[in-house]
Structure 1
Amino acid sequence: MKTETKRWTHLGLGAALAGSTLLAACGQGSTPAPSETATPAPELETEAPEAAETSTPDMDDSAAMDVAPQESGEGEGGVAIEQAGTDPIVFTSALAITEAHIVAARDAFLAGETQAAAEMFAHPVSEVLFDVGPYLQERGVENFDDLLTNASIAVFDGADGDEITERTAEIIETLRAAEEKAPDNGMSDARVAAGVVADQIDRAAYMYTLIAETDEYEPYLDGYGFYKAAQAHYEKSKDMIAADYPDTAGAIESALGLLGDAYPSVLRPEELPANPAALTAAGSNIQLTLSE
């Protein structure tokens, strides 16, 4: 079976909102790491980068899901797009990746990082939802791109923290409703939930390996979002995961503890407090418990 695997990389606002004169290509460059003091958004640019897309050799269904997120520059690669219509982990992981960006956007905005926030709100539209959208719609999920792009626009239209928080809550509620329409391939709810949490943890851990090599803000903010998405998905499913996969639940909790230390705030600390190798090992340990 030939499975196309999309490497989701960071585009910024330009590709997502190419028709908007206000937001055209706002996020094309790398955002510098913020300080604890909020800074105003810089002047917007005018050109947008292109999305990167690759294909993998033939592989079976399980191998397609196990393609490592390390394949992309942002920890968002390795999702077998064509399986979103049949594999509940792929389907729900795509929604979780979207949630990771939305939560990161909200928290960045509340911390004063307006450009990063606008960019993160719009990012999933151009990358995740553009590819997975047809599979969501096949399952009865209505297109919700406007919720994300309108939140991005609201950032630059002078929205306050309450409005952005409300918009974020509406988006997450929509994502939760979409999760209920995931395909059923016979996999248990606990196994799906564990797989989605493990995926987000792997992405957060991988982003931390990139953070040590750069002073840019985006890798940290992405990793923070993946950690928060993993945490949220585990909180709503931990009882059934613990009941069916107790070793996995223990490994997830251990990994989340390490990630909490690694990402103590939405703002990148001056000195990184965690060991990237330990985070990677913690994510691998989760996968080992699921394969036993």
Structure 2
Amino acid sequence: MQDRTNPMNSKLKLWTQLGLGTALAGGMLAACGGEAGGEGGGEAGGDGADAAAVAPSEAGTGEAGEGEAGGEGEGAGGEGEGGEGEGGVAVSRADSDPVAYGIALAVTEAHVIAARDAFAAGRKEAAAEMFAHPAAEVLVEMDPVFAKLGVKDFKPLLTDASTAVLDGKDAAEVNRRYDAIITALRGAADKAPDSGASEAAIASGIIADQIERAGAMYRIAAKDDRYEPYLDGYGFYKVAETAAARGGAAIKAANPDAHARISDALALLRQAYPAATRPGRLKLEPAALSAASSRVMLATAS
């Protein structure tokens, strides 16, 4: 339970558990200085940090990639080599590879979508964690890339949203902060590097990655009754769904097979993740998602 008598201590404990020490050292949370050792905190802080953004590494191996820093599945734009950041994002290529760059933004968006919907469902501590997590998990690693491409630092928007939840702000205030993050993400997407790849190839690579992550998190959730793996997977699924809605026409025109495989995988993911709140029993066989994801990877690997 949060320490209501000292909300600043609660925030700092959560951010410390999420690995936001670098942000503190950089002054982003300078106004909170001197209280990092305080008591309090939320139930979500200890649980979600361990499995918050699995980077699927099971492509071709049949095993789930657990943890935060594995390699990407090779079908998703050729990730899986070196230079991954905390969220399994290929940071070393993100300044030149629009798929790697887009994956970093998609992983961030997945967390904030999960945060918004968890908040709406009354899971406020999980929401606070999900808003804050990408600031340390992905965005700190991406700082040099963003600086090179002229993207303004938007990490404070995520910690501000987390603070709003912990401070007991209402839905209108939290949603306003969510909208600001999405606007920043869309602005960052406009500055993606140009490799000469087509819109369809870039979109399908990013979607394939998010589908694989959603499937990997479902496999973890099937063996782990904590809320956070399920909520992470839900976020990855929702990003894949919204990205497919935006880029579906281009993908269908350029690669009808990829479009069909993505549609099939998303139909299964809708069954796997019916809502942001975890159902009492996970009804879908994880193997079905693994197979669907593999078909997407094969269709988008060209």
Deviations 1:144-195 (A, max 9, x none): 0111000000001111111111211111111011111111111111100100
Instruction: Verify: 1:97 aligned to 2:101, yes or no.
Output: no
TM-score, normalising length: structure 1: 0.80
Q: In structure 2, what is the equivalent of residue 276 of structure 1? A: 286
CA distance in 1, matches of 2:39, 2:259: 42
Return closer, same or farther for 1:80/1:24 CA change in 2, 3 Å cut-off: farther
Judge conservation of contact 1:13–1:25 (CA < 8 Å) in 2: no
2:221 aligned residue: 211
Amino acid at match of 2:107: I
Give the aligned CA root-mean-square deviation in angstroms: 2.8
Q: Any stretches of 5+ residues in structure 1 without a counterpart?
A: 1-10, 32-50
**Which residue does the alignment assign to 1:116?**
126
- 1:246-285 equivalent positions in 2, closer than 5 A: 246-285=256-295
1:122-137 aligned at under 5 Å gives the runs 122-137=132-147
Report the count of equivalent residues.
253
Cα distance in 1 for partners of 2:235, 2:116 equals: 10
Take 2:40 and 2:248, find their aligned partners in 1: how far apart are those partners? 41
Matched, 1:16 2:20: yes
Determine the structure 2 residue equivalent to 1:35.
none
Q: Which residue number in structure 1 is paired with residue 61 of structure 2?
A: none
Matched, 1:29 2:39: no
Check if 1:233 corresponds to 2:224. no
2:190 equivalent among 180, 185, 188 = 180
Counterpart of 1:280 in structure 2: which amino acid?
S
SS of 1:267's equivalent? coil
Q: How many Å apart are 1:209 and its aligned residue?
A: 0.5
- In 2, the alpha carbon distance for the partners of 1:23 and 1:239 equals 51
Q: State how far apart, in whole Å, the 2-side matches of 1:53 and 1:246 are.
A: 32
Matches within 5 A, 1:35-114: 65-67=78-80, 76-77=87-88, 79-114=89-124
1:46-74 Cα offsets, whole Å, 9 max, x none, are xxxxx9768x8xxxx99983329xx99x9
| Long gaps (5+) in structure 2 | 1-12, 49-66
Residue type of the alignment partner of 2:290: T
Matched AA of 1:66? E
Q: Which amino acid aligns with 1:65?
A: G
Aligned to 2:168: 158
> Offset of 1:273 from its aligned partner?
1.6
Query: What is the alpha-carbon distance in structure 2 between the residues aligned to residue 28 and residue 208 of structure 1?
Result: 20
Query: Alignment identity in percent?
Result: 45
Q: Matched residues in 2 for 1:248 and 1:64: separation?
A: 13
